[in-house]
Amino acid sequence: MKYPVHPVALGLMLAISSASGAFAQTAPSATVTQNGTGNQAYVEQNQAGEDATVSIVQTGNYNMVGDPASRSGGILQHNTPGMIVAVSQQGDANQLTLRHDEGGFFGFAYVNQSGTGNRATLLQNGAYESTIRVEQHGERNVIEDRANDVGALSFRPQQYGSDNVITVRRSRSGYAGLPIRQDGIGNRATVTYDDAFYSGIAISQTGTDNEARGSLTSTGFATEAEILQSGAGNLAVTNIVGGGGALTTQTGTANTATIDQTAGSNTAAISQLGSLNAASVTQTGPLSNAPNIAWITQVGDGFAASIMQTGSGNSAGIYQH
């Protein structure tokens, strides 16, 4: 299903794209347009140079970007070259916190929240060349991203539905991150990047009460993981240290899948079609041209399977039906 970008948000993006040169001449600048009842906005720029521009459009009732009275949240920039922020909120009681402190940050953050009670928290510290795009349509969706000493990156979360939560933690990572998309009710996605470069975890969740957890540690080129969940109550956990690839696909109800890989360029895949299945893959091997390969496919209900491989060049597969 395709979700159209709100006309106000689309116009905001086009204006930013076509007027970047004008921003460079007049920066820093901030524009706030509010229509409705009880709208609030708070913007602060301190030593922001070059393209530091903030534009906020709020339409509806009780929209908030921050609390001007207590100065909590609401976009704060400090020593920020090349930063362009565009915010468009339609609906009731949406809230945004975007805080960038010191260091170069050559990108733009686009936020479009529609519905009621959506919340986005984006905190940057020493980041640069970053592109962050947040779209939330529905009610009570939450996106929280915290980065510390992060290099170039792209963070593109999207949420449609209600009560979904995306949490991302990034430390000492660059060009790390893949899209995270949630469409449903009560889904949870948690991703941690630590010393991860040119690698990422992509998550797509549809359905109800699914949970995906992933982490990349000390990874580099050609390290990608993907978690695809549909149904209800599924749990997928992927942890990669050193490199490799992983794919988890879950449909049905209450399936559990775990992939743990350490060292080497190992690859693993778990596919669960049914309910109440459990599968795990654990692989540890040296860096070599002979990676370990493992896959588990479960078609039906109530199956359990596990694979553990150590060394290099091992291959294993399990098919349960």
Q: Give domain status of residue 254, yes or no.
A: yes
Q: Does residue 6 carry a pLDDT above 60?
A: no
Question: Does a structural domain hold residue 189?
Answer: yes
Domain holding 297, by residue range, is 163-321
Shared-domain flag, residues 65 and 113: yes
- The model's confidence at residue 3, banded by pLDDT at 50, 70 and 90, is very low
Average pLDDT, the chain: 80
Name the residue with higher pLDDT: 146 or 128: 146
**202 plus 262 within the same structural domain:** yes
CA distance 114 to 89: 6
Residue where a domain stops, chosen among 88, 119, 135: 135
pLDDT digit string, tens, across residues 286-298: 766 789 999 999 9
Higher pLDDT, 65 or 160: 160
* Shared-domain flag, residues 88 and 198: no
Q: How many domains does the chain have?
A: 2
The answer, yes or no, to whether residue 305 has pLDDT greater than 80, is: yes
Domain end: 135, 151, 184, which one? 135
| Shared-domain flag, residues 316 and 175 | yes
| C-beta neighbour count of 36 within 10 angstroms | 14
Residue 127's pLDDT band (cuts 50, 70, 90): low
Sign for the pseudo-dihedral over CA of 35, 40, 46, 51: negative
Question: What amino acid is encoded at 227 in this protein?
Answer: I
Task: pLDDT band for 99, please (50, 70, 90 cuts).
Answer: confident
Lowest mean pLDDT among 20-24, 47-51, 303-307: 20-24
Q: What phi and psi values does residue 26 have, to the nearest 5 degrees? A: -110, 0
- CA distance to 193, 207, 221, 258, per residue, from 218 (Å): 9, 32, 11, 19
Residues 99 and 168 in one domain: no
- Note whether 205 and 182 are within 8 A (CB): yes
**Last-in-domain residue among 85, 117, 135:** 135
pTM, 2 dp: 0.80
Return the closest-CA partner of residue 238 out of 282, 194, 205, 274.
Answer: 282
